[in-house]
Chain A
Amino acid sequence: MEHQDYQQLLIPHSLDALEPSDVHAIEAHLETCAECRAELTALRNDVGLLAHAAKPAEPGPQVRARILDAVRAERQENRDGTAVTGRVVPMKPRANWNVWTIGLRLAAGVAFVALLIEIVVLWRHEVKLRQDVAQLERQLNTQQHELARDRDALARQRELVALLNSPNGRKLEMAGAQTAQNARGSFVYDQKSGKAVFLADGLPATPADKAYELWFIPKGRSPVPGRLFTVDASGHALLPEQIPADALDSFVIAITLEPKKGSTAPTSAIYLSTPSS
């Protein structure tokens, strides 16, 4: 290329608009051509004025402080003897949070916290509901149990009234023995059918591993086991019974305290009994 050809490249070169191959060519020429170097300098001064074509804008107020902080840090390192050449001063961590991203992150954070709170509230609500349901079930069971017990008691009382009104009805009084002096009881029965109802009051509370056992003691024979039962808090019991057929003529009734599953023969002292006949 001739000198004039290179001159043609100076204008696009001043705008950095040449292709790389032409850049290499003009740079090589500039090494040796003072005239072109001067012309390029003048061109670049004018091209630099195009910066004024952009409207001026105010950077954030923190930028100035960031720059001066970085400069001071760099100078301090130089004083400390750190090598400078080729060293890159780390930029302050870029606050990559403009108003929108801060807003979005804040909103996401708030939503997340709200969601967590909602989950906790729902969870606690559910736990409370489950507790309430369990409580209601327990109450229902208790009430059903009490109702069943009352029905039984009512049925026994009706039975008792029926036995007392029956022409074949008989009643035996029972007294507490040495072990349960406050206890007393009644044994009401139909002397033909053997159907009976047993009432007791004032018996000591039943230990957890024990049960009271009713015995029929026919005259001259070994005791025949009857019902097992427990008493309520006031030592009360009311239960139906059936007198063994071979004991209907003559018998004594006694109550002993036995292991929970019952015994085939009495193992404890008598708590309550009818008088010996």
Chain B
Amino acid sequence: MQAEPSQIADNDLLRAVARGDESALAAIYDRYRLILFGLILRILNDRQDAEDVLQETFLQVWRRAGDFDEARGRAFTWLVTIARSRALDRLRAAGSRARRAEEAAQEPADEIGDAALDALNAEKSAIVRKALAELTDEQRKVLLLAYFEGLTQTEIAERLGDPLGTVKTRMRSGLIRLRELLAHAN
């Protein structure tokens, strides 16, 4: 999953945003709002908070588009990193981690399915979910706790009641396996 047709366009759009082109920002919003909002909503499990964070994310994109360096990662990765960081900040500020803990490894009910995505994003989503399904439950749980709850390895070990070494091993083996599956899918 490397040289998608939209990748170049994403970079171009971000460059246009960096020049102050608000229509380029709107285009990025239209292209990724479903995925980014789904991610933020999965982390926060609150639509109102999630909409606020989505707005903060795009304002940050607007202000910091000039910092985007395609040599240091894909545009999608950059967007997702901003959205996830802000959502996790909000989650920690809300101090509601414990309350949402049980939802961590589960898929919360969402409003829409992949059918609403454009073909490319729908395909990516299917590949990622299929790859995750190939992992062991333990590997998947560790990765999802880290990604969607922002837990450190130590916190995951405490949460699951597993030894820290075990968590480290599962995280490592799980991500290596995931990358293999994703590479193979491409």
Residues on A facing B (Cβ under 8 Å): 8, 11-12, 14-19, 41, 43-60, 63-64, 66-68, 70-72, 74-75, 84, 89, 91-92, 94-96, 98
Residues of A within 8 A of B90 (CB): none
Ranked nearest first, the 9 interchain pairs of A and B with the lowest CB-CB distance are A54-B42, A48-B77, A56-B34, A55-B110, A52-B128, A15-B146, A52-B125, A56-B38, A17-B146
Q: Is the CB of A16 within 8 A of B36?
A: no
Most buried by A among B117, B147, B148, B176: B147
Docked complex Cα distance between A44 and B41 (Å)? 21
Q: Is the CB of A51 within 8 A of B22?
A: no
Q: Is the CB of B81 within 8 A of A67?
A: no
Q: Is the CB of A57 within 8 A of B56?
A: no
CB distance from A5 to the nearest CB of B (A): 13
Residues of A within 8 A of B99 (CB): none
Q: Is the CB of A56 within 8 A of B35?
A: yes
Residues of B within 8 A of A14 (CB): 175
Residues of A within 8 A of B50 (CB): 57, 59
Q: Is the CB of A17 within 8 A of B55?
A: no
Q: Is the CB of A71 within 8 A of B55?
A: no
Docked complex Cα distance between A12 and B143 (Å)? 9
CB distance from B176 to the nearest CB of A (A): 7
CB distance from B45 to the nearest CB of A (A): 11
Q: Is the CB of A54 within 8 A of B80?
A: no
Q: Which residue of A lies closest to B153 (CB)?
A: A17
CB distance from A116 to the nearest CB of B (A): 31
CB distance from B25 to the nearest CB of A (A): 6
Q: Is the CB of B74 within 8 A of A67?
A: no
CB distance from B38 to the nearest CB of A (A): 4
- Which one of B26, B47, B143, B171 lies within 8 Å of A64 (CB-CB)? B26
Docked complex Cα distance between A58 and B74 (Å)? 23
Main secondary structure of the interface of B (DSSP, over half): helix
CB distance from B62 to the nearest CB of A (A): 5
Report the count of interface residues on B (CB-CB < 8 A): 72
Q: Which of B136-153 contact A (CB under 8 A)?
A: 143-144, 146-148, 150-153
Q: Is the CB of B59 within 8 A of A89?
A: yes
Given contacts A15-B171, A91-B56, contact A50 B143 (CB under 8 A): yes
- Which one of B34, B59, B113, B148 lies within 8 Å of A71 (CB-CB)? B59
- B163 contacts the other chain (Cβ, under 8 Å)? no
Most buried by B among A14, A44, A49, A68: A49
Docked complex Cα distance between A106 and B30 (Å)? 34
Residues of B within 8 A of A64 (CB): 26, 29-30, 33
Q: Is the CB of A91 within 8 A of B52?
A: yes
Docked complex Cα distance between A151 and B26 (Å)? 99
- B95 contacts the other chain (Cβ, under 8 Å)? no
Residues of A within 8 A of B176 (CB): 11
14 extra interface residue pairs, beta carbon distance < 8 Å, beyond A45-B74, A67-B25: A14-B175, A17-B171, A45-B73, A46-B182, A47-B175, A48-B76, A50-B132, A54-B39, A57-B110, A67-B58, A71-B25, A72-B22, A75-B22, A91-B56
Residues of B within 8 A of A45 (CB): 73-74, 77
Q: Is the CB of A41 within 8 A of B73?
A: yes
Q: Is the CB of B33 within 8 A of A59?
A: yes
Q: Is the CB of B73 within 8 A of A71?
A: no
Q: Is the CB of A56 within 8 A of B110?
A: yes
- Which one of B112, B150, B151 lies within 8 Å of A57 (CB-CB)? B112
Q: Which residue of A lies closest to B77 (CB)?
A: A48
